[in-house]
Amino acid sequence: MSDAPLAEKILVVIGGTTGLGLSAARAMLAAGARGVVVTGRNPASATAAAEVLGTGGVTLAGNAVDPAHAPAAIALAREKFGGFDGLYHVAGGSGRRLGDGPLHELTDEGLRATLELNLHSIMLSNRAALRQLLADGRGGAILNMGSVLGWSPSREFFATHAYAAAKAAIVGFTKSAAAYYAPHNVRLNVLAPALVETPMARRAAGDERILKFIATKQPLDGGRIGRPEDCDGAAVYLLSDAARFVTGQVLAVDGGWSVSEGQMPPT
């Protein structure tokens, strides 16, 4: 791999003003990207992210579930940096506070809001990216944020069934689109973390029983919650030309979650 795997790439990160997205945007610039546009719902976070990223980064405040949001971010990338090469969709989150949970407790609002936030927003951003990449005719890359909960559930601690359904659907959607757009040299892949220390994970990170479970469920590196930077290398790779022959794949960056039984702590 080149010392600058993303040399001259111009990328958009939907949901990039905090956590996994911001960490990835910094890694993209360090990997040689000419420019990165990052978006987020909170204007204050967008302002703070712009200071972190410096001249190579531009931020845009807005909601990923708005159909106009991703097109605006892509247009901004083209205006500020002169093109568009790829999209990383990170935006999403737990619907627990909105009514997600075990299916018999799932509220109508929890179902709607969780699917909108985690699945609809990805389809909207991917649609916008594909329209631009097809118009440009040079190919490109799309990376979608999944979760190991889409196929490897945790009954005791992470029983949010609408969220799991959305993350499973992201895999099917991405694979289907990858098959369709491969002849156009547009690649689509999924990055699927386990529990990572982000604003979304505050509940879990503050629960001693969950931390004891994670010590055996994510046993790599001493058994710990993931850090945003643990996912950066995978994101850079999948958006780079080093992955030019990779599409329709799911890469779990999960500390061993998918292959570990995990031991329930005593009550």
CATH numbers and ranges of domains, the chain:
10-197+229-253 (3.40.50.720)
pLDDT (average), residues 225-232: 97
Helix ranges, the chain (H): 19-30, 43-53, 69-81, 108-115, 121-136, 161-181, 202-205, 208-217, 232-239
Judge whether residue 231 has pLDDT over 80: yes
Judge whether residue 50 has pLDDT over 60: yes
Q: Tokens for 152, please give them.
A: 């490897």
pLDDT (average), residues 90-104: 95
| Strands 35-40 and 86-89, sheet pairing | unpaired
Q: Identify whether the C-beta of residue 154 lies closer than 8 Å to the C-beta of residue 144.
A: no
Is 163 marked active-site?
A: yes
Instruction: Name the catalytic one among 163, 180, 181, 237.
Output: 163
The pLDDT value recorded for residue 2 is: 53
Cα dihedral 188, 133, 244, 2, rounded to 10, equals -120
Judge whether residue 112 has pLDDT over 60: yes
The pLDDT value recorded for residue 205 is: 81
DSSP state of 139: -
pLDDT (average), residues 98-119: 97
Helix ranges, 40-89 (H): 43-53, 69-81
The pLDDT value recorded for residue 266 is: 84
Model confidence at 59, pLDDT cuts 50, 70, 90, reads very high
Angle at 177 between CA 84 and CA 78, to 5 degrees: 10
Classified as helix, coil or strand, 89 is: strand
| Phi/psi at 86 (5° precision) | -175, 160
The pLDDT value recorded for residue 1 is: 44
- pTM for this model (two decimals): 0.96
Q: What whole-number distance in Å separates Cα of residue 181 and Cα of residue 159?
A: 34
Q: How many CB atoms lie within 10 A of CB 244?
A: 11
